[in-house]
């Protein structure tokens, strides 16, 4: 094969470390961003956080000052060797505050590991106040059952069976393993009758209904433990033991005939059953509350909707001018090279934070401008909006809009919503306009909330009612939207009154 030299022209997009960092910061939530900032503070001595009460004046215009030029840093260090920090707040930087290109004197990988991931949550601290440490001290259902088991006289074999049974009970309080599987876990020499006997003892533990194998058994266990016995107890027990399938199917007419009860009497029986817990285990292991800190705050001032970044989520960082003053222009010593590299990386980081804040504010403002009807009138006035619409309005790529709206939340007078919530597909109307899927869901929810519980609306009926309002939606689309709202079908929504 003959070897030859060829010259080719081409274009290639190179992802610089600065661009990679800026893109990564865009998609981080406020909690993940805080972890990223903490990592940068620990690895870069030229970055520091501005603490409350430790701020210094930054000029008449209130803007942050640039670090001193490298040519004068040596003299500045001699004049003021001990004190001085300059503030560069990431939320108040201007585009020309930080040079777009800086000399590269250190490798990016020296500080930022490409395989870095946000650190996990710190272990619980016993010194935290009770309200902050409470979530780590909550007793789960398994511990609650084991505590009761230790207070109950069990033989050594029965105790091993009880532990196996408790391990097979899920967070809802139901036994999710068969008795045969329990026997295999304990040992085949144990009889099924012995396992059944231990299970009955566990089913008398707190909370009532725990250890049941299905909903019917759980409701019966809870009903048996009611003391004193309430009115309609016998009828409710008869219904659960013999006619539970009719109750599940909402066939109240047949149920009344079988129980020989009038409609009003059957209503009282069903009300008693409705007081029972379908998931008894959640009484001991409640769902943990996750608090959301909004990134953007929207409020109406003098008839105009104003958008601003939440100051609680905006990091206040600056470059330590004492370390920056130690950087010397022509010095190529290892210490000076290290400081030059860290100064450059600190500037990159602050510029990336500034870009993130500006992009978030710009996108949020555009969303509010497009969705003012929602802010004024609610979900039914939500307009159809897709990522392309915002990308075209702000002059950015759709992928950038997707990143900046992921895990970012907006506080409005109507509540806190993820920015993704304001995007939805559309359905054409008879008048030639568009109706967003969010608005259609709101209409479906409103119709079902106002329906006759004795004759709930079917999906076809809802589609017909929407068509009367000029919105053409197929029955299967209505069913999909209804499922997304967590609303059961019409036969499961039927009530006696």
Judge contact between 75 and 326, C-beta under 8 A. Answer: no
- The backbone region for 450, taken as left when phi is positive above 0, alpha when psi lies in -120 to 50, beta otherwise, is alpha
User: For residue 193, which of 204, 180, 174, 202 has the smallest C-alpha distance?
Assistant: 180
Q: Is the dihedral of CA 138, 143, 147, 152 positive or negative?
A: positive
Give residue 3's pLDDT.
83
Class for the domain spanning 426-493: mainly alpha
How many angstroms separate the most distant Cα atoms in the chain? 100
Tokens representing 66?
């640039």
User: In angstroms, rounded to a whole number, what is the distance separating the alpha carbons of residues 208 and 2?
Assistant: 86
Judge contact between 424 and 382, C-beta under 8 A. Answer: yes
Give residue 119's pLDDT.
42
User: For residue 119, which of 34, 241, 19, 7 has the smallest C-alpha distance?
Assistant: 34
Give residue 432's pLDDT.
62
Judge contact between 385 and 436, C-beta under 8 A. Answer: yes
**275 to 132, 236, 408: CA distances (angstroms):** 33, 12, 39
- The crossing angle, in degrees rounded to 10, of helices 192-202 and 156-167 is 70
Helices (H), 378-433: 387-394, 398-404
Give residue 262's pLDDT.
93
Give residue 2's pLDDT.
77
Parse the chain into domains and list their residue ranges.
141-283, 426-493
Q: What is the chain's pLDDT, residue by residue, as a tens digit (497 residues)?
A: 678 888 888 777 667 777 788 888 888 888 889 999 999 999 999 999 887 655 554 433 333 344 444 333 333 334 443 333 344 344 444 434 444 444 444 444 444 444 444 444 445 444 544 444 444 445 689 999 999 999 999 999 999 999 999 999 999 999 999 999 999 988 878 899 999 999 999 999 999 999 999 999 999 999 999 989 999 999 999 999 999 999 988 889 999 999 999 999 999 999 999 999 999 998 886 666 778 889 999 999 998 999 999 998 888 899 988 888 888 776 778 888 888 889 999 999 999 999 999 999 999 999 999 999 999 998 888 898 999 999 999 999 999 999 999 999 999 999 999 999 999 887 777 666 678 888 899 999 999 999 988 889 999 999 999 988 888 888 999 999 999 899 999 888 888 76
Give residue 107's pLDDT.
44
């Amino acid at each position: 094969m003959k070897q030859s030299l060829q010259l080719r022209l081409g274009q290639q997009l190179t992802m610089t470390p600065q661009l990679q960092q800026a893109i990564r910061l865009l998609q981080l939530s406020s909690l993940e961003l805080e972890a990223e900032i903490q990592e940068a503070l620990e690895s870069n001595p030229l970055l520091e956080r501005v603490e409350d009460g430790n701020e210094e004046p930054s000029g008449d215009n209130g803007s942050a000052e640039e670090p001193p030029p490298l040519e004068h840093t040596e003299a500045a260090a001699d004049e003021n060797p001990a004190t001085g920090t300059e503030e560069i707040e990431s939320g108040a930087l201007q585009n020309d505050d930080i040079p777009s290109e800086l000399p590269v004197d250190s490798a990016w990988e020296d500080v930022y590991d490409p395989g870095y991931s946000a650190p996990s949550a710190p272990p619980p601290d016993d010194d935290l106040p009770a309200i902050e440490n409470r979530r780590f001290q909550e007793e789960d259902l398994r511990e609650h059952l084991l505590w009761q088991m230790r207070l109950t006289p069990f033989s050594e074999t029965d105790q091993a069976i009880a532990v196996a049974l408790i391990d097979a009970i899920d967070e809802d309080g139901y036994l999710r393993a068969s008795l045969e599987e329990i026997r295999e876990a304990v040992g085949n020499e144990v009889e099924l009758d012995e396992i059944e006997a231990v299970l009955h003892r566990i089913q008398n533990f707190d909370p009532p209904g725990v250890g049941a194998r299905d909903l019917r058994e759980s409701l019966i266990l809870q009903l048996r433990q009611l003391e004193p016995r309430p009115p309609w107890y016998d009828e409710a027990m008869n219904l659960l033991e013999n006619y539970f399938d009719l109750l599940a199917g909402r066939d109240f007419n047949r149920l009344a005939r079988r129980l020989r009860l009038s409609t009003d009497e059957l209503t009282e029986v069903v009300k008693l059953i409705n007081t029972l817990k379908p998931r008894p285990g959640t009484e001991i292991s409640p769902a943990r509350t996750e608090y959301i800190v909004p990134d953007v705050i929207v409020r109406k001032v003098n008839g105009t909707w104003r958008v601003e970044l939440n100051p609680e989520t905006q990091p206040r960082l600056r470059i330590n001018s004492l370390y920056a003053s130690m950087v010397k222009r022509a010095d190529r010593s290892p210490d000076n090279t290290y400081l030059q590299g860290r100064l450059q990386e600190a500037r990159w980081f602050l510029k990336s934070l500034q870009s993130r804040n500006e992009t978030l504010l710009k996108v949020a403002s555009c969303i509010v401008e497009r969705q003012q009807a929602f802010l004024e009138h609610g979900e039914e006035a939500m307009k159809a909006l897709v990522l392309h619409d915002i990308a075209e309005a702000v002059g950015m790529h759709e992928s950038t809009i997707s990143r900046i709206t992921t895990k970012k939340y907006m506080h409005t007078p109507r509540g806190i919503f993820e920015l993704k919530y304001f995007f939805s597909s559309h359905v054409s109307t008879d008048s030639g306009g568009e109706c967003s899927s969010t608005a259609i869901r709101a209409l479906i929810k409103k119709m079902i909330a106002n329906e006759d519980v004795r004759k709930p609306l079917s999906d076809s009926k809802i589609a017909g009612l929407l068509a009367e309002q000029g919105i053409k939606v197929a029955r299967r689309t209505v069913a999909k939207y209804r499922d997304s709202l967590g609303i059961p079908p019409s036969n499961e929504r039927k009530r006696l009154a």
